């Protein structure tokens, strides 16, 4: 068995953050497929009892530990590997600030937006989609402005803040109905910088479950 197991599925940008980190640090890891769309596994009592009481993916298993919340998983891997780690107290606080912003306001809206627009059956209410899109545009504008003066979120090198923020941003534009890279040039350049890191992989090449059966 590999050292790390990641409970995940290909369409989850929340899980992609951790899968990407594991790959970039060269960890010995394997995915554990969670059937989210077919069997709704995270909603089952067994999953909540044995894997994650919060009913979410990702979960990072390491020995006796089962960690959830991608920001916690990224922090754990950064502490253990020394890679993508914010170093000073100021850097740690700054990384945490961007990870919380990301989880709540950027990918925290972008993931549900894509889900309701493209993956849910039936699709979401247009009024809800419109609300989410306005919040997403605001958050992407904030990120694009930050990246005008910073090659990476904290400065000159990539950290877990970057790996959190890329969560959903490599998925195909047609899944969102708008092209983030085309609309936000600083985000586009930053995505290319991260994509150039050795061992970078696309979410659909890193995690199981793509394409969805029958789609």
Residues lying near ligand GSH in the complex (CB under 6 A) are found at: 12, 14, 42, 55-58, 69-70, 103, 111
Overall residue count recorded for the chain in this entry = 215
Nearer to ligand GSH, 107 or 194 (CB): 107
Residue 4: phi, psi to the nearest 5?
-115, 145
DSSP 3: S
Nearer to ligand GSH, 43 or 145 (CB): 43
Minimum separation from the CB atom of position 104 to ligand GSH (A): 8
Nearer to ligand GSH, 75 or 184 (CB): 75
Minimum separation from the CB atom of position 149 to ligand GSH (A): 26
CA pair distance 31, 14, nearest whole angstrom: 14
Nearer to ligand GSH, 92 or 105 (CB): 105
Minimum separation from the CB atom of position 141 to ligand GSH (A): 22
Q: Could you tell me which residues come within 8 angstroms of residue 138 by beta carbon, excluding any fewer than 6 positions away?
A: 105
The answer to whether 103 touches 6, Cβ cutoff 8 Å, is: no
Minimum separation from the CB atom of position 115 to ligand GSH (A): 8
**59-62 and 29-33: which strand pairing?**
unpaired
CA pair distance 12, 2, nearest whole angstrom: 21
Minimum separation from the CB atom of position 52 to ligand GSH (A): 8
CA pair distance 76, 215, nearest whole angstrom: 36
Minimum separation from the CB atom of position 69 to ligand GSH (A): 5
Nearer to ligand GSH, 86 or 167 (CB): 167
Cα dihedral 83→141→90→157 (10° resolution): 30
DSSP string for 106-141: IHHHHHHHHIIIIISSSPPPHHHHHHHHHHHHHHHH
Nearer to ligand GSH, 12 or 75 (CB): 12
């Amino acid at each position: 068995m590999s050292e790390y197991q990641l409970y995940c599925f290909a369409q989850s940008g929340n899980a992609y953050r951790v899968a990407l980190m594991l790959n970039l640090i060269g960890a010995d890891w394997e995915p554990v497929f969670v059937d989210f769309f077919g069997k709704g596994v995270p909603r089952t009592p067994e999953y909540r009892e044995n894997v994650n009481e919060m009913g979410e993916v990702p979960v990072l298993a390491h020995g006796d530990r089962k960690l959830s919340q991608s920001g916690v998983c990224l922090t754990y891997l950064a502490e253990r590997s020394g890679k993508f780690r914010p170093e000073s107290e100021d850097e740690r606080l700054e990384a945490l600030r961007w990870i919380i912003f990301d989880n709540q306001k950027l990918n925290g809206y972008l993931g549900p937006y894509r889900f309701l627009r493209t993956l849910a059956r039936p699709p979401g209410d247009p009024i809800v989609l419109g609300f989410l899109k306005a919040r997403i545009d605001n958050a992407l504008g904030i990120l694009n402005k930050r990246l005008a003066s910073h090659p990476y979120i904290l400065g000159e090198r990539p950290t877990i803040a970057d790996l959190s923020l890329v969560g959903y941003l490599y998925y195909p534009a047609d899944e969102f109905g708008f092209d983030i890279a085309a609309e936000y040039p600083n985000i586009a350049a930053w995505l290319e910088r991260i994509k150039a890191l050795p061992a970078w992989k696309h979410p659909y090449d890193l995690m199981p479950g793509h394409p969805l059966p029958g789609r």
